[in-house]
Structure 1
Amino acid sequence: MRIVFSDLDHADHDIEQAIFSEAGFEAPLLACRSEDDLIAQVAAADIVLNQYAPFTRRVLEALPRLKQIVRYGVGVNNVDLEAASDAGVQVCNVPDYGMHEVSDHAVALTLALTRRIVPMNASCRAGRWNYIEAVPIRRQSTQTLGLIGLGRIGRLYAAKMHALGFALVGHDRFYTPNAADGTDFITPVALDALFRQADIIALFCPLNDDTHHLVDAAAIESMRPGAYLVNTSRGGIIDEAALAEALARGHIAGAGLDTTEHEPLTPDSPLWAQHNCLITPHMAWYSEDAAQELKRKVAEEAVRFARGEAVMWPVNTPR
C-alpha cells in the first residue's frame, strides 16, 4: 500500500518516517491545501496522513484508490465522514494523545479568568498595587461549573476542577455520569438548565452540524450575569459576534478561548477589543510529550491498517 502525508506544518516528520521505514513503507510529504491539490496529488495513495487539507465529498469521489485517512488530532471536521463511509474509506483520529494537556489548559484558562490573573498582572506592571481592581472574586467552592461534553477530556477537566472545590453539572447526549467510573460528582442536567445554573461554562464537544453556534446569542443571554466561558474544543461552537457583544456590556465577565471559528483569529474580530477575553493560539493540545505521542500514534495507525490489522481509533463505518 502507498502511504502519503497530504499536508503537515510540523517542523519535521522524523518520528513517523522512522516507524514507516521500520515497517517497510515510504511516505512522501505533500503540501495539499485545497480540494484540487488533493485530487491532483493523492490519486495514487491508499492511505493518507492528514492535518488540514479538506476531504470533501468531491475529493473522496475523485480518489477511488483511497482506503484510509488518519487525522492528526481529535477533531475530524475537515473530513466529510458520511462521504468517506459512502466511498469505503476508513477515517481514524488520535483521541487520547493530549488529554491532560487540553484539560490542563482549560483549568489554566478557568483559573486565570476567575482569579483575574491577567488584568492584575497588567495593573501591577502599570504601577498600581491594588487588589480592589480585581473585585469581585468568589471562592471556588461557592461556584458551579458547567461542562458541555463529557468525553475523555471533559471528564479529566471535571476531575481536576472537582479536586479544587467546584460544584459540577454536565450535559452530554451520549454519556451520563455514574458511580461505576467515578464521575457521579457531576450532576447531569439539560442544556438549557446548564446555561442558567453555571457560573463557568466549559466546552468539550466536537464541532458538527448539531453543535455549530451551539452557544449563540440566545444561549449567552440565558447565562447568569457575570458568568465565564472557556473553550478548548472548536471555535465554531460559539457565535463569536454574540460573545463579543456580551463581553462588551459585561453580561459575560470573561472568556478563555484556545480555538476560534477562523484561525488565526481575523484582525477585524470584535473579540480583540475585549480585554476580558483571553486568547491562545490553538495550543491546548501541545507539550513536547503530546506532540511526540501524536506523531507516533498517527503513523502506527496507518501501519496497522496497511498490514490488514484492526485499527484502534475508527471514527466512521465504511460501507
Structure 2
Amino acid sequence: MSSIVISEFMDAQAVEDLRARFDLRYEPGLVDDAPALRQALAGAQALIVRNRTQVRAELLDHAPGLRVVGRLGVGLDNIDMDLCARRGIRVIPALGANAQAVAEYVIATAMLLLRGAYASSAQVAGGAWPRPALSEGREIGGKTLGLLGFGDIGRRTARLGQALGMQVLAYDPVVAAHAPVWRETGVQRRELDALLRECDVLSLHVPLTESTRGLLDAPRLARMREGAVLINTARGGVVDEAALADALRAGRLGGAALDVFEHEPLPAGSALAGVPRLLLTPHIAGLTRESNLRVSSLIAEQVGAFLRG
C-alpha cells in the first residue's frame, strides 16, 4: 500500500477508487492548513492537488518519499517543476480533461458580453422596460475571435466559435507558421499586435511564465479594437488588472470577463471592484460536473498506475 494525500476537492468516485487500492488521506481543506499538510506528507508517496496548493521547496522538504504529484487541472504555475525534476518527482497534469468546459465558458461569456442584455431581470421584474437601452447588443456570428495561445483549449474554443460563424485568428509562438494545425483547423495565424487590432473577442489561453506575466498591459490593451471584449480563463498574472479596469471605465473596451486573478481570492479594495461591463467568476471556467469527473478519473488512474509501477 502507498500513501496518497489529496489536499483539494476531488470527485467522490475517483477518491473511493483510490481508497480501495491505496492508503489515502483525503481532506479538501488541507490546502488551508499548512502544518497539517506538511505532517500528512511525511510518509506520502503521492500528492494530488488543484491550483491552490503551492508545491514548492517549503512543502517538498516535508515530503522525503514523494514520488508523484497529480494536478487536477492543466496549469502548473503552482508547482516548482524544476525542483520536482531534480528530486525525481513525476508531475501528472490532467491534460485535455477540462478543455471542453473552458471552451464553452469562453463562447458563452463572449455572447453575454457582446449582447449586453442579461443583467436586466431585476429592472424588468420591477416594472421597468429598458428595451431601447438594450436594443444595441451585438451578434457573435460574423465577429472575429482572437486566441492568445493555440493549444488544446484554444483549438476547442476555435471550433465552437467557427460553428457560430466566427472568423478565428490565433497567436502562439510555440506553434510554427508551417505547422499543419493551421490548415487543418482553418484558423489564421497572426502576430500578437495584429491579433489585438483585428479581433472583436480576445480569449487568453497561455500559461503564466516570465514571458507572459503582464503580457496584456496598458499599451497592448490600447491596441485592441475599440469595443472589443476580453476573456481571461488562463492565469491572472497575464493581464494588468488595473490597466484593464482603466480601459473599461474609459469605455474603450466593450467588456471583459475574468475567471482568474493575480491574487485569489481578490483582496478587499481590488482595482476590479465596481468596474462597468466586467464579469468576475472565481476560477471556475474549467469546473463542471462533467469535467470534474473526467479530471478526477484521469488523475486517479494515472497516479495509481504510476505507484503500481
Q: TM-score, normalised by structure 1?
A: 0.86
> Which amino acid is 1:298 matched to?
I
The equivalent of 2:26 in structure 1 is 29
CA RMSD of aligned residues (A): 2.4
Partner residue of 2:40? 41
Q: Judge conservation of contact 1:17–1:26 (CA < 8 Å) in 2.
A: no
Unaligned 5+ segments in structure 1 are 309-319
Q: Tell me if the contact between 1:35 and 1:56 (Cα under 8 Å) persists in the aligned partners.
A: no
Separation in structure 1 between the aligned mates of residue 241 and residue 66 of structure 2, nearest angstrom: 37
Counterpart of 2:291, as a letter, is A
Alpha-carbon distance in 2 for matches of 1:180, 1:227 = 26
| CA–CA separation in structure 2 for the residues paired with 1:119 and 1:219 | 29
Note closer, same or farther for the CA distance 1:157–1:123 as it changes in structure 2 (3 Å cut). farther
**Equivalent position SS for 1:272:** coil
For 1:190 and 1:122, locate their aligned partners in 2 and report how far apart those are by CA, in whole Å: 43
Q: Does 1:234 align with 2:235?
A: yes
Shift of 1:261: 2.0
- CA 146–25 in structure 1, closer or farther in 2 if over 3 Å, else same: same
- More off after superposition, 145-154 vs 132-141: 132-141
Distance 1:182 1:125 in 2: 49
Equivalent residue runs for 1:256-295 within 5 Å: 256-295=257-296
Which segment drifts farther, 75-84 or 279-288? 279-288
Matched residue of 2:24: which SS?
A: coil
Cα-to-partner distance string for 1:81-123 (whole Å, 9 max, x where unaligned): 1111111111111022222111111111000000113344455
Match of 1:206 in 2: 207
Per-residue CA shift, 1:142-169, capped at 9, x if unaligned?
4222100111111111111111111111
- 8 A contact 1:258–1:283 mirrored in 2: yes
Task: Work out whether residues 34 and 54 of structure 1, in 8 Å CA contact, stay in contact via their aligned partners in 2.
Answer: no
Q: Distance in 2 between matches of 1:32 and 1:116?
A: 38
Cα offset, 1:272, TM superposition: 2.3
Q: Which amino acid aligns with 2:12?
A: D
SS of residue paired to 1:281? coil
Q: TM-score, normalised by structure 2?
A: 0.89
What secondary structure is seen at the aligned counterpart in 1 of 2:170? Answer: strand
Greater length-normalized contact order (CA 8 Å, ≥ 6 residues apart): 1
User: SS in structure 2 opposite 1:205?
Assistant: coil
Identity of paired residues, percent?
A: 30
Any residues of structure 2 matched to 1:1-319 within 5 Å, and which?
2-9=2-9, 14-22=12-20, 24-29=21-26, 31-33=30-32, 38-51=37-50, 52-121=52-121, 123-125=123-125, 127-134=127-134, 136-176=136-176, 183-308=184-309
In the alignment of these two chains, the number of paired residues is 305
**Contact 1:154/1:204, CA 8 A, preserved across alignment:** yes
Structure 1 residues 46 and 110, CA gap change in structure 2 (3 angstroms): same
**Structure 2 stretches lacking a partner, 5+ long:** none
**Residues 267-299 of structure 1: per-residue CA shift (max 9 Å, x gap):** 311322113001122222222222222221121
Instruction: Report the CA distance shift for 1:180/1:265 in structure 2 as closer, same or farther (over 3 A).
Output: closer
Q: For residues 9 and 140 of structure 1, do their structure 2 counterparts lie closer, same or farther at Cα, with a shift above 3 Å needed?
A: closer
Distance 1:264 1:128, change over 3 A: same
